[in-house]
Structure 1
Amino acid sequence: MTAPRYDVIAIGNAIVDVMAPASDELVDELGMTKGGMTLVDADGAKELYSAMGPAKEISGGSAANTLAGLSAMGAQCAFVGQVADDQLGNVFAHDIRAVGIDFDTAPREGEPPTARCLIFVTPDGQRTMNTFLGASQFLPPEALDQEAIGGARILYLEGYLWDPEEPRAAMRAAIETAKAAGRKVAFTLSDAFVIDRHGDDFRALIADGLIDILFANKVELAAITGEDDFDAGIDALKDQVPVLVVTRSEDGAVCVTDGERSEVAAEPIDKVVDTTGAGDLFAAGFLFGYVRGEEPARCLRRGAIAAAEIISHYGARSEADLAKLMADKLG
């Protein structure tokens, strides 16, 4: 096997986040489910944008956020995702390249426009997301760089992108390429609503041994296993994937690797400002340790440190120097 070109290559939604503080009353008035993620169409996105207060635009997308965290820690990364040939598409491409991530997917001409996620952040730090997927739904298998996928230690896939037909086909093709090259495949379940729609697909991927590292939170664990009890959910999956990582907010996280269970407490912070991207950055910290052969407990601690940094401010991209933060915390 040749030496890998990348630590992690990811396929995900290429989204620009539009974030604004909001009251609980506004969230209720707009009929949103606080803390959830809802898909909206172009008209819905326009209506919600008009209801937002002063907003901040930050390039996002779950897998892209994870790569941004990995790159900030010193990992070599590449991203595959579809933008349109428009202003937000240019913003996304510039931002992801500016943090040292290779991004070579050609922009798509015409409608729909580049995806955006309208995020309402309530005073308790909860984010309510409304996503217009736009061009990101039209990533074709032909856009894949097979050599790059086969040349990455880990292929990281975002469950959110499983919904549209073209990206789903692209991700299946990428899994085949990665497996043929002897690489690892990591998958994040993303949200319970995604599992409601595609849980059978995800369970088949797991049963077929195509997922090496599975990321979930406690709600997603219950959705994929049908077990409301946390430990019963862990038991239902722990023998089906080599590495199972489950986060549980303020209660920390659990990893089961080849049957051995490790746990970490949540990293203490002064105030939770915005939980956007907490799971994405937890995955970044964990994967950074994993590709360096660190013990699961240390990988979990990296994840907890990265997640704590993210929830201490608005947005899903780090403001602190993550590499220095890791060095200060871990030595």
Structure 2
Amino acid sequence: MARIAAIGEVMVELSPYPTAQEETREIMALSYAGDTYNTSVYMSRLGLETHYVTRLGDDPYSEQIIQRMHDEGIGTDMIERVAGRSPGLYIIRNTPDGEREFFYWRREAPARELFSEPNESVRLYNQLQEFNAVYLSGITLAIMTDTARQSLFDALAKLRGKGVKVIFDSNYRPRLWNTAKDAQNAMQAMLKHTDIALLTLDDEQLLWGDDSIEGCKKRYQALSELVLKRGAEETVLIVDGEEQRVPVPKVDNVIDTTGAGDTFNAGYLAARLDGASAEAAAANGTRCARVVIQHRGGVIEKTLFEAGING
């Protein structure tokens, strides 16, 4: 069985409680989420041996996050606990037109210090070289300092030299970067150390002003494996210069698209690291995402996910 380690941040999530609302106060439901964390949950559910790399505090909410990972079968040996600290927080607010707004409190989150200490960087590198693959995202890069990011890149370069595959989802969130140029530079540097890029065409438009497939092919021509997710449109695969299109069947009862891309990534990687073709892996990713978007939340109940996958 392939072993994969995901690097990133898990945050406390507060969202409107669906059945309880008072005139004088909002009733919120508490959960935990984060893009690479969401993907890790689904990779583990799909049978991929999954471990998580982050920093958490010593507070009750950090403890609950660790317990959630244990419950999902995710390895936590590479999580650093920092005394006196706590994870970041975000609140989801529903607007009158049915859209959702996100408000973040994460500046003091210990995950922002990943790869910032030389001893920790060496320790993580030594642990990561025992894996088949490492997975991270543009959000992982965005929360790091420039120095920590370079330490990460150095580690990834050495890991690839030892045969570890590096998998990257750009997941561009403008508010996490000082400027779009900073994000562009970091993404370009990261893609030099990437074996499989799982990108979203909407993010490409947002970051580069280019939503064409041809533009992406030109920009990332050095990549050996490129996956372009396009929502309800067919997925584009470019593997060793050969392009393929994988259909995305229509879903009539879409409830919530939160986490669809994260879930696609999980399905793709679970199949691809098990030896499936890129085309079969993309079909599996689509199948997993279809289940999630028919329920509310980025991480749905395990029984719902398994029923949807097996149904």
Q: Is the 8 A contact 1:309 1:318 kept in 2?
A: no
> 1:150 aligned to 2:123?
no
| Cα distance change, pair 182–53 in 1 and its aligned pair in 2 (3 A) | same
Secondary structure of 2:56's match? coil
Secondary structure of 1:107's match? strand
| Cα distance change, pair 297–15 in 1 and its aligned pair in 2 (3 A) | same
Letter in 2 for 1:154: A
Letter in 1 for 2:184: G
Letter in 2 for 1:110: G
> 1:227 aligned to 2:223?
no
Match in the other structure for 1:218: 201
> 1:189 aligned to 2:162?
no
Match in the other structure for 2:21: none
Match in the other structure for 1:87: 60
Bigger mean CA deviation after superposition, 268-277 or 56-65 = 268-277
Match in the other structure for 1:69: 42
Give the TM-score normalised by the residue count of structure 2: 0.83
Match in the other structure for 2:236: 254
Deviation of 1:304 after TM superposition, in Å, equals 1.0
> 1:106 aligned to 2:80?
yes
| Cα distance change, pair 119–6 in 1 and its aligned pair in 2 (3 A) | farther
Letter in 2 for 1:211: T
Match in the other structure for 1:18: 14
Q: Is the 8 A contact 2:268 2:281 kept in 1?
A: yes
Alpha-carbon separation, structure 2, partners of 1:167 and 1:273: 38
Deviation of 1:160 after TM superposition, in Å, equals 0.7
Match in the other structure for 1:315: 297
Alpha-carbon separation, structure 2, partners of 1:249 and 1:237: 21
Provide, for residues 155-181 of structure 1, a one-character-per-residue CA deviation record: whole Å limited to 9, x for no partner.
111211213216524532431342132
Deviation of 1:80 after TM superposition, in Å, equals 0.4
Deviation of 1:251 after TM superposition, in Å, equals 1.6
Deviation of 1:67 after TM superposition, in Å, equals 0.8
| Cα distance change, pair 145–192 in 1 and its aligned pair in 2 (3 A) | closer
Deviation of 1:282 after TM superposition, in Å, equals 0.8
Deviation of 1:53 after TM superposition, in Å, equals 3.3
> 1:199 aligned to 2:169?
no
Q: Is the 8 A contact 1:125 1:274 kept in 2?
A: no
Alpha-carbon separation, structure 2, partners of 1:57 and 1:174: 35
Pick 1 or 2: higher relative contact order, CA cutoff 8 A, min separation 6. Answer: 1
List alignment gaps of at least 5 residues for structure 2.
Answer: 19-23
Match in the other structure for 1:138: 113
Secondary structure of 1:312's match? coil
Alpha-carbon separation, structure 2, partners of 1:125 and 1:9: 36
Provide, for residues 72-114 of structure 1, a one-character-per-residue CA deviation record: whole Å limited to 9, x for no partner.
0111010001111112111111111210010121311124x21
Match in the other structure for 1:291: 273
Alpha-carbon separation, structure 2, partners of 1:137 and 1:52: 32
Deviation of 1:244 after TM superposition, in Å, equals 1.0
Deviation of 1:325 after TM superposition, in Å, equals 4.5
Letter in 2 for 1:276: T
Match in the other structure for 1:245: 227
Paired residues in the alignment total 292
> 1:9 aligned to 2:11?
no
Provide, for residues 276-302 of structure 1, a one-character-per-residue CA deviation record: whole Å limited to 9, x for no partner.
211111110111111012111211111
| Cα distance change, pair 121–277 in 1 and its aligned pair in 2 (3 A) | farther
Letter in 2 for 1:168: R
List alignment gaps of at least 5 residues for structure 1.
Answer: 23-50
Give the TM-score normalised by the residue count of structure 1: 0.79
Provide, for residues 294-317 of structure 1, a one-character-per-residue CA deviation record: whole Å limited to 9, x for no partner.
111211111111112222222221
Deviation of 1:116 after TM superposition, in Å, equals 1.9
Secondary structure of 1:83's match? strand
Query: Within 5 Å, which residues of 2 pair with 1:170-185?
Result: 170-185=151-166
Letter in 2 for 1:87: P
Deviation of 1:62 after TM superposition, in Å, equals 0.7
Deviation of 1:270 after TM superposition, in Å, equals 3.6
> 1:236 aligned to 2:218?
yes
Letter in 2 for 1:200: N
Deviation of 1:326 after TM superposition, in Å, equals 4.3
| Amino-acid identity (%) | 23
